[in-house]
């Protein structure tokens, strides 16, 4: 098979995936991908907070990425972006002020964590981790389908 043939084959295989069958696309797909990334980073930061891992390059990059993700996440819940396959509750859009407040608290917690990690300050990382994990849960409890 030539290059063109291979490209077409790839399109045929990926096409339905991009459209629907392999999960949400658009803002819903983007926010779900970010959530998954943040979930892995949160686990890493939990190990640091519990004294199981030192603050190394990966941890520093993770904390910085989580902070960037938190800012991006703020723009990924436009009205009408609920996805049939996703877990976003309609309350996000009917109780927007509460949702925005949860988002802002989360972004603040992610910024504090980034600062604590950058300073390599374990005494600050511990409470920053607790606040961050709480901020994820707070929003999920109100705005994510179980
Ligand atoms: C301001 C609200 C909010 C915050 C803060 C938030 N989430 Fe979410 N999260 C959601 C919503 C809403 C969904 C469902 C999104 C969808 O399906 O469209 C979700 C989905 C998820 C998912 C499921 C993704 C999947 O596979 O379907 C994971 C994992 C997740 N969040 C992890 C996190 C972590 C970890 C944090 C904190 C570091 C966090 N979230 C912070 C609202 C939030």
37 lines ligand 1 (CB under 6 A): no
In a domain, 12, yes or no: no
In a domain, 31, yes or no: yes
Whether residue 16 has pLDDT greater than 50: no
**Residue 62 to residue 59: CA distance in whole angstroms:** 5
81 phi/psi in degrees, rounded to 5: -100, 15
In a domain, 56, yes or no: yes
Q: Which two tokens stand for residue 110?
A: 């992610």
Q: Which of 137, 132, 136 is nearest to 117 (CA)?
A: 132
Q: Are 111 and 67 in contact (CB under 8 A)?
A: yes
Q: Which pLDDT value is given to residue 10?
A: 47
How many structural domains comprise the chain? 1
Give the pLDDT band (50/70/90) at residue 23. Answer: low
136 lines ligand 1 (CB under 6 A): yes
Q: Which of 140, 143, 146 to mutate to test ligand 1, by most ligand atoms within 8 A of the CB atom?
A: 140
Ligand 1 center to 12 CA (angstroms): 31
In a domain, 4, yes or no: no
In a domain, 11, yes or no: no
Tell me which residue range forms the domain holding 77. Answer: 24-143
Q: Are 69 and 37 in contact (CB under 8 A)?
A: yes
Q: CATH code at 78?
A: 1.20.120.10
């Amino acid at each position: 098979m030539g290059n063109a043939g291979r490209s077409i084959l790839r399109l045929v295989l990926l096409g339905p995936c991009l459209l629907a069958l392999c999960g949400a696309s658009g803002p819903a797909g983007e926010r779900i991908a970010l959530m998954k990334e943040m979930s892995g980073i949160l686990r890493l930061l939990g190990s640091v907070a519990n004294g199981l891992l030192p603050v190394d390059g990966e941890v520093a990059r993770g904390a910085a990425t989580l902070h960037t993700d938190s800012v991006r996440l703020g723009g990924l819940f436009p009205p009408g972006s609920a996805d049939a396959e996703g877990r976003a509750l309609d309350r996000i859009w009917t109780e927007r002020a509460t949702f925005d407040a949860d988002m802002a608290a989360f972004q603040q917690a992610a910024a504090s964590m980034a600062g604590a990690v950058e300073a390599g300050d374990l005494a600050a990382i511990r409470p920053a981790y607790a606040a961050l994990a709480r901020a994820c849960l707070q929003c999920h409890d109100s705005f994510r389908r179980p």
